[in-house]
Structure 1
């Protein structure tokens, strides 16, 4: 009987390499691990493969780096390798995407939409495919508000940015594939660092708040940013990884879409106050209207000085609530649940303070 052989896009990215580790630890059926890597990333990929092999106590022969590019037909894979993969791959995990909120439309469309279309076509050529797992985002909802269901894929009247729009369009393409191939769509909330160690790969999302507060800590008083009761859905990487590794192999997970979101999220104001207290031991005084903050962040020098992308402010007022009952139901009995944001805050702030001056972690802000 044939074992399981996996192909991952998005390597050597943080979420991808953590997911590989988790799957190898949980799946005795695991055989070969193939990672699709752009030629420019091959050296880094080799280093990461060596670390994973060491950490999971597996032979490096069980890993294969495949040079390619999802934006090219056939994923840019050499013909000889394509034939081998067609026969051996049982599970495809498609994580490659542009995640930047400020990404220009042409780049987002080329990678997120055209790239996913190419992966979809390629997956349909595999002879032994058991599951196709696509990493989307809960924010395909765009500016739709209220209760947002996992079973819904509704084009909103407007998106907050091209990242959301192109991820929505890519998910539409993957949704169509469900009738032909056992497919699971994963929609994470805003991913933050590990709930126990605080480890992450870049300081975006909630870390923009940390940049803002850290760089203004010298002020005698720091205002709150707006006074919004909007909810912000932050999810630690370890929950995303554990839940994905479980649901990707669950028989009843085929054909489903899961919100891997916090079922009990906090408001923007609560998150802001918690981070301020933990990071600089202060509480906010007064309020800076978001309209004023938006004007300030329209100036590139101010954005760079504060380490904040202006697109992040769109999430401070958006009032969508992600229903994750399907994920919660299918995770029942697994021991996997989303940790409370407050529980991981100390580790999150500690990791940030240790690495705040390391340019590798900071997002380049234009």
Structure 2
């Protein structure tokens, strides 16, 4: 909780700081990387730095946390903090690194705000920073303890025991970690790879099968998107490297499993909704439910560009078919027909975007969402409109959490 004096200052300056926060975070990253180039080379996602998504996500999280402190002083943004903490430990972030962030962040605040960064203003926002940092550090230490490894010691070797092509731009890799370690359906691992220029880049991939001795990740090749000038941006460094370089018998350096969007035990009805490569954590949940013989009422909904683009399509249908009280609903943006028939193949797939209006959702349904941000916003709004409480809607964001950025 903020002290009364700091709360008053933060409340008064929140509009000014909020307006400047993206410029502050841009300056912060530029200055920090100029003095510590190894951070950009070996820890931070260079793609997200280049397109501005990481600085936007940081700005949104700081603004959202400060607003929570002054507008709801008796509450804590636990979901936001948990999401950040899991991402941090999957990268091996340590408490000492918060001092580095503090140095450059407050240097950026002084540079951008100029005379407006009075000692009282700096002191109040310093209190905001350390409240957020200490809360994250405590969460992260707890997560490290759960792995039974030291703080920052999350990395292990894993051998590729199977590689499968799932679609024209998606592969799955089954990994056998050197140290047996359990995980919960919905979690992810970080994968760190050496690139030709000497950089060590890290990306997170959901575990796409039920918990077991082997882990499976599913990797979609990322192609550069066209910018304002129409020219395509760079392709995804790690995904393209994995597609080109990794086969059976190779070893990868991966983290212990982390992630807060995990399937809760119980007998509540479930809605598992995904789009595109967002199917991966949902698939792990369905696989786990099938493996444990669940009798829960389960509604699985997936949307994709086409049947050919739908990674693990046959596997998802087979798993749902083994569950006694589960239904599968599919939507494809392109006209859908089973190959060579001109009609659907009996799975009831529809053409267009996902629309849950005529999908029965029993009382007490718990929803798990994963996919592009516009998809999740749309589905979440639809579920809220149908009376599903926000506390029963869980989601996973691949990459920086721009949901918070846009809300902030």
Q: Give TM-score scaled by structure 2 length.
A: 0.26
The structure having more radius of gyration, on CA atoms, is 2
